[in-house]
């Protein structure tokens, strides 16, 4: 049964734990950098009270089984370094989106994102039996688009005026995906990047 639920996922370098209100202080501290939110308005860490409101909203989405929200920890330092989510969950079609990801600046351009995405993709395809995982980002966000491409996701096109932003502008959204028949090749590539030996079943 395709039913994503809160779960702990890990590699030797990162651990993803279900995000709860107990993580509020760490979430706000990790996200309190305006540049993290320039492509994802509004800034959910503009203040601690805004972060609290956002986490309470996410908690309701988790309870309604619409999202699964993770706190990302660096195993070496045990530091909260960011957050990510399963969202746009469609149980009937066994598909979901990985999104709402941010990584605090200190850990950007490190192993964190690759290891976190590997955990999420492996769980989606091998435990949940997903047939499609998608990623969306602002068409102009080259940094995010390059990161998604490095994961092995395929570019599907641009959704024009897909979202109305809080400032009234329209967002064109770049859409990427990985499907189940591509997962083993993507997995092997990611494991090579992470220097993890491929184990045969």
131-119-42 Cα angle (round to 5): 90
The span from the CA of 60 to the CA of 29, in Å, is 22
**How confident is the model over 1-23, as pLDDT tens digits?**
899 999 999 999 999 999 999 99
Residue 36 region, left (φ>0) first, then alpha (ψ -120 to 50), else beta?
Answer: alpha
Q: Name the pLDDT band for 187 (thresholds 50, 70, 90).
A: very high
Length of the chain: 201
What share of the chain in percent tops pLDDT 90?
A: 89
Find out whether 14 and 112 touch, Cβ atoms under 8 Å.
yes
pLDDT class for 156, splitting at 50, 70, 90?
Answer: very high
Domain positions in the chain are 9-194
The topology under which CATH files domain 9-194 is Aminopeptidase (3.40.630)
Higher-confidence residue of 58 and 195: namely: 58
Residue 167 reports pLDDT greater than 90: no
User: Using 50, 70 and 90 to split pLDDT, how confident is the model at 196?
Assistant: low
């Amino acid at each position: 049964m395709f039913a994503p639920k809160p779960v702990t996922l890990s590699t030797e370098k990162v651990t993803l734990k279900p995000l709860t209100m107990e993580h509020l202080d760490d979430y706000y501290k990790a996200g309190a950098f305006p540049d993290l939110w320039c492509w994802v308005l509004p800034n959910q860490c503009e203040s601690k009270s805004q972060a609290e409101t956002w986490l309470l909203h996410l908690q309701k989405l988790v309870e309604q089984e619409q999202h699964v929200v993770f706190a990302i920890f660096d195993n070496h330092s045990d530091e909260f370094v960011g957050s990510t989510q399963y969202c746009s969950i469609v149980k009937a079609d066994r598909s979901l989106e990985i999104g709402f990801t941010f990584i605090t600046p200190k850990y950007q351009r490190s192993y964190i994102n690759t290891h976190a995405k590997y955990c999420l993709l492996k769980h989606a395809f091998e435990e949940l039996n997903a047939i499609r995982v998608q990623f969306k980002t602002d068409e102009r966000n080259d940094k995010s688009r390059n990161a998604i491409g490095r994961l092995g996701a395929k570019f599907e096109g641009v959704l024009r005026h897909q979202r109305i932003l809080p400032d009234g502008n329209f967002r064109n959204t770049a859409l990427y995906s990985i499907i189940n028949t591509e997962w083993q090749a993507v997995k092997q590539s990611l494991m090579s990047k992470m220097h993890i030996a491929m184990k045969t079943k």
